[in-house]
Structure 1
Amino acid sequence: MHTFVLGVDLGTTSIKAVLLECQSRSIVASQTLPTASDIADCNGIKAKEQDTGRILDTLNRCIGLLPRDKLQHVCKIGVSGQMHGVLFWNSESGCDWSRGNFSHLITWQDGRCDEKFLSSLPKPDSHLSVATGFGCATVFWYMKHRPAFLKDFTVAGTIQDYVVSLLCGLDRCLMTPQNAASWGFFNTCSNQWNADILNGAGFPLHLLPQCVPSGELAGHTLTDWHGIPAGTPVGAALGDFQCAVYSCLSAQADAVLNISTSAQLSFAMPADFKPPDSPQPDSSVAFFPYFGHSYLAVAASLNGGNVLATFVEMLTGWMKELGMDLSDQSLYEKMISCALNQESSNLTVTPTILGERHEPFTLGQVTNISTCNISLGHVTRALCRGILENLASMMPPERLQKAGVRRIVGSGSALARNEVLRQEVKRVFALPVVYGQNADSAVGVALILCDQI
């Protein structure tokens, strides 16, 4: 009899679920649905929040579309999701899919913590800096600006941690180092929160999750879930980035380039690598905990496919103002077609409209403008090249070569649908690029649990 691992990824814009057959490690079913859960910032604080109830509804619809005869033979469930963000809930009323005992999800894109506020926070005992959108920074913001809000909740975690808590009926949050490190104020060498530092700043320590190793189980399903039997083991939630890398990193000499909503370029550090003792806020490369005691070197850019999406939104907005209407999808296809006919451009686009974590107040620029390079093809080509050049400025090709990287594994939805981006990858990094091993967090989290069977 075939058995399956269910892998679920709760992404920034969509939810994906896959069924992996245990023996062959092959995908036998897959579903993806957009969450459409973004909430407008009505308070003028650069908030980026999502409707938690809508995310949960989308998750259940997504699982319900998978073949029930296979769901009945699921032997493990793995969950990954967007890191850094924070969700608050009240465990005293129990974990129940139908109860609204939770807050909005404040996502990794949240911008309410400005430079002045971040500089007022205590210095963490960690090699990772704290930025806006990080869970602990967000809690500090609520402590200062809306302290009454926190009194309604007993637990905090990422959205993926909350789903695991729901599935297992947990009265607390269990969090892996992958997600804990993304919150800030967590030491990855000792796998401990900076409890003394946080306590000294008045931080509500009861909100901090209990840390468990990446890859361990969090518990077992409390009830039947879409045909998956009660008592099915559930892994502690993992970071979407680490799972995406796991799904396609097959050799030590590979680097993984992923361009989806944002963009990341990473490679595995040697087994004996130890991160710095303190944060390196000006460094464009961070070291993310992977599995066991290993780390990934990561250039994590905030500017990826979202920049292209913003460009499309700008163009469609202009067209509507001119009395014309064209769908985002049609416009995207046309601008890529124009750029493919424009093989090069001397227009320079610096696409950092969202800043970067190491340079949060950097803005985008367009330079070297002339009457000869302002066509849609020129601008689109330059924008795609700019996204790659920005990544290369964060992690130069020379650094990859020095680390022994011999090829790049390209992945992500933006790369998959954009031939211009793929062309520019080769030009900017001058390394062989392979596709077909698409980085997929849902597949990665399923493979991790499958490899443990």
Structure 2
Amino acid sequence: MICGIDLGTSTVKVTICRKMEPQFVVASRSEQCAAEILQSPSNCSEQSVWKILCSLKSVLNKIDRDIFQKIEYVAITGQMHGVLCWDAPNISEISPGNNLCAASNLVTWQDQRLTPDFLVNHPQIHPGFGIGTLLFEKYGNRYSIFKGSIWGSIMDFVVYIALGLPQKYHVTTSSQIANSFGYFDPINGRFDVCSLKSMGFPIDTLPTIIPETSVIGETERDNYLNLPEGCKVIVPLGDTQTAFYSVIKQRKDCTVINLGTSCQVGRIAEAKSVEAKTGQALQIFPYFKNCFLILNASMNGGNNLDVFVNGVFLPLLDSFCDTSKIEKEKIVYEALVRSGLRALEKDKLCNSGNVQYTGEMFPERSKCNPLGGNGNQSGATISNLTSTSCDLGQLSLAFHRGIIKNAFAAFEDGWGSPCDLDQVVTVGNIFEKNKLFRAVTENLFPGCSIFNSNSSLGAALFVGDNLDDLS
């Protein structure tokens, strides 16, 4: 069996597939981890590493024991760009009481602590990029949350503790993860050592880059995640890349939208055509087998709805609904989807959907102007509200539609040539859970293919397709 693990921003997912063809799913579990550090400053986004680990162990414990004991390979993917530091002499020290003795908080991709002046002087990064955060905090003579001499992504850390690697372990990762830290050339697959050295960054701490088919090690009998002894743990992979892989594998002729907390729209390109296909709004991400993803990596996805729900609706429910936050969120989301679907049907009949939402609640990297803060980014707007359109259904429909249209608009602008949107493929469990997102996408792109897939499945499928190349 092959186990794919996705350490997402809000959810931990585990998918287990057969090792040999046909690679069907034999088990799948997920759990919201609620790892946000709420006392962080408003411009910071940090998560508790301990809570992420607890959620991961909880999800793994939900897998049928007979299936679990047959796991031979583990591939870990998850949220990119973010960074944490650690220096744990003994993995058993990782616990709620002394978590910070073992590891720092995870500073996520949503972090906005980098100042405009700092960004002007560091053009190869955006807010939330790991190397930028390290330069700003750990090596910038500021008070820092970072403790320890080892740094990497949350996936790198989980590999470290799963394998019980030595204290002075040097992080070994894939180009997919390394690229997300910043100051990395995705085409040539290496860090910009000269620039980093000139800024005083300790280049000896940079991760070593190895192929995506590399095995970092095998689990011992008593390991932190209780994985079966002898499991081969693959080098960490990027969640965007594995999400794309889960739905297109060898296909290179379609446009994919990956919707979760954020949203990515992109296509696969061969190395020889990468630079010619990118525009200001698009980014190059290393993919698999010497190919690349050309992406609009939008900061705005499901997080727009989360802000809307938590900032507007939950405070209203607090006054008369005595249930947990999770139950309140469920009530609100069900109402938003139900009313939005009704509004969409009405819109189809009489073109009544005149409420518009520009889905840019979070600053887009492609529009970031360091000298002026957010540059052209003026925040999200709701427009065309009238006495007849100001209802919950129209607002919900506008939010869902605006998020999808925002991501596609930037991709089409940056692609530089006509893009075949007749072959749109979706990935992300949100399209299965949220019927309105699904209906809106089908309405905008008739004939699109909707897949109930995710990054954990993509990671497992990638390993299964490349068993002969693992080393």
TM-score over 0.5 (shorter chain) = yes
| Preserved CA contact (<8 Å) 1:73 1:228 | no
Which residue matches 1:377? 393
Deviation at 1:137, TM superposition (A): 0.6
Which residue matches 2:291? 294
Distance change in 2, residues 1:403/1:217 (3 Å):
farther
Q: Where does 1:95-134 land on structure 2 (aligned, <5 Å)?
A: 95-96=91-92, 98=94, 100=99, 101-121=102-122, 123-124=123-124, 130-134=125-129
Unpaired segments of 5 or more residues in structure 1? 125-129
**Paired letter, 2:214:** E
Measure, in 2, the Cα distance between the counterparts of 1:236 and 1:398.
31
Q: Secondary structure at the match of 1:39?
A: coil
Measure, in 2, the Cα distance between the counterparts of 1:61 and 1:21.
22
Which residue matches 2:371? none
**Paired letter, 1:216:** S
Measure, in 2, the Cα distance between the counterparts of 1:245 and 1:205.
32
**Paired letter, 1:260:** G
Distance change in 2, residues 1:231/1:369 (3 Å):
same
Q: Where does 1:50-129 land on structure 2 (aligned, <5 Å)?
A: 50-90=47-87, 93-96=89-92, 98=94, 100=99, 101-121=102-122, 123-124=123-124
Deviation at 1:312, TM superposition (A): 1.8
Which residue matches 1:156? 151
Deviation at 1:243, TM superposition (A): 0.6
Structure 2 residue 283 is matched with structure 1 residue 269? no
Q: Of the candidates 159, 177, 180, which is equivalent to residue 178 of structure 2? A: 180
Q: Secondary structure at the match of 1:79?
A: strand
Measure, in 2, the Cα distance between the counterparts of 1:314 and 1:366.
16
Number of corresponding residues: 436
Deviation at 1:220, TM superposition (A): 1.5
Structure 2 residue 455 is matched with structure 1 residue 448? no
Q: Where does 1:142-221 land on structure 2 (aligned, <5 Å)?
A: 142=137, 143-144=139-140, 146=142, 150=146, 152-170=147-165, 171-221=169-219
Deviation at 1:397, TM superposition (A): 8.8
Structure 2 residue 445 is matched with structure 1 residue 413? no
Unpaired segments of 5 or more residues in structure 2? 348-352, 369-373
Give CA-to-partner distance per residue, 1:71-127, whole Å, 9 cap, x none. Answer: 222221111110000010115x25557364111111111111132221122x44xxx
Which residue matches 2:236? 237
Give CA-to-partner distance per residue, 1:231-263, whole Å, 9 cap, x none. Answer: 321100001110111111142222221221111
Which residue matches 1:138? 133
Greater helix fraction, Structure 1 or Structure 2: 2
Higher mean displacement: 132-141 or 51-60? 51-60
Structure 2 residue 316 is matched with structure 1 residue 319? yes
Q: Secondary structure at the match of 2:103?
A: coil
| Preserved CA contact (<8 Å) 1:96 1:166 | no
| Preserved CA contact (<8 Å) 1:68 1:227 | no
**Paired letter, 2:447:** P
Q: Of the candidates 442, 446, 449, which is equivalent to residue 434 of structure 1? A: 449
Give CA-to-partner distance per residue, 1:164-219, whole Å, 9 cap, x none. Answer: 11122332211110011011011123322112211110112233211111221111
Q: Secondary structure at the match of 2:135?
A: helix
Measure, in 1, the Cα distance between the counterparts of 2:416 and 2:64.
43
| Preserved CA contact (<8 Å) 1:41 1:47 | no
| Preserved CA contact (<8 Å) 2:82 2:109 | yes
**Paired letter, 1:270:** E
Distance change in 2, residues 1:33/1:156 (3 Å):
same
Structure 2 residue 258 is matched with structure 1 residue 258? yes
Distance change in 2, residues 1:320/1:28 (3 Å):
closer
**Paired letter, 1:177:** S
| Preserved CA contact (<8 Å) 2:429 2:454 | no
| Preserved CA contact (<8 Å) 1:71 1:227 | no
Measure, in 2, the Cα distance between the counterparts of 1:405 and 1:219.
42
Which residue matches 1:348? 356
| Preserved CA contact (<8 Å) 2:214 2:234 | yes
| Preserved CA contact (<8 Å) 1:39 1:48 | yes
Distance change in 2, residues 1:397/1:192 (3 Å):
closer
Measure, in 2, the Cα distance between the counterparts of 1:409 and 1:148.
42
**Paired letter, 2:311:** M
Distance change in 2, residues 1:419/1:69 (3 Å):
closer
Distance change in 2, residues 1:384/1:161 (3 Å):
same
**Paired letter, 2:340:** A
Q: Secondary structure at the match of 1:268?
A: strand
**Paired letter, 1:144:** G
Distance change in 2, residues 1:403/1:352 (3 Å):
closer
**Paired letter, 1:229:** P
Which residue matches 2:350? none
| Preserved CA contact (<8 Å) 1:20 1:29 | yes
Measure, in 1, the Cα distance between the counterparts of 2:106 and 2:174.
19
**Paired letter, 1:243:** T
**Paired letter, 1:141:** F
Measure, in 1, the Cα distance between the counterparts of 2:301 and 2:385.
23
Deviation at 1:404, TM superposition (A): 4.9
Measure, in 2, the Cα distance between the counterparts of 1:187 and 1:328.
41
Distance change in 2, residues 1:18/1:413 (3 Å):
closer
| Preserved CA contact (<8 Å) 1:260 1:415 | no
**Paired letter, 2:159:** V
Measure, in 2, the Cα distance between the counterparts of 1:247 and 1:329.
28
Which residue matches 1:127? none
Deviation at 1:149, TM superposition (A): 5.3
Give CA-to-partner distance per residue, 1:317-376, whole Å, 9 cap, x none. Answer: 452477567822112212222222223311111121112111242201122222121111
Which residue matches 1:390? 406
**Paired letter, 2:162:** L
Percent of counterpart pairs with the same letter?
27
| Preserved CA contact (<8 Å) 1:41 1:48 | no
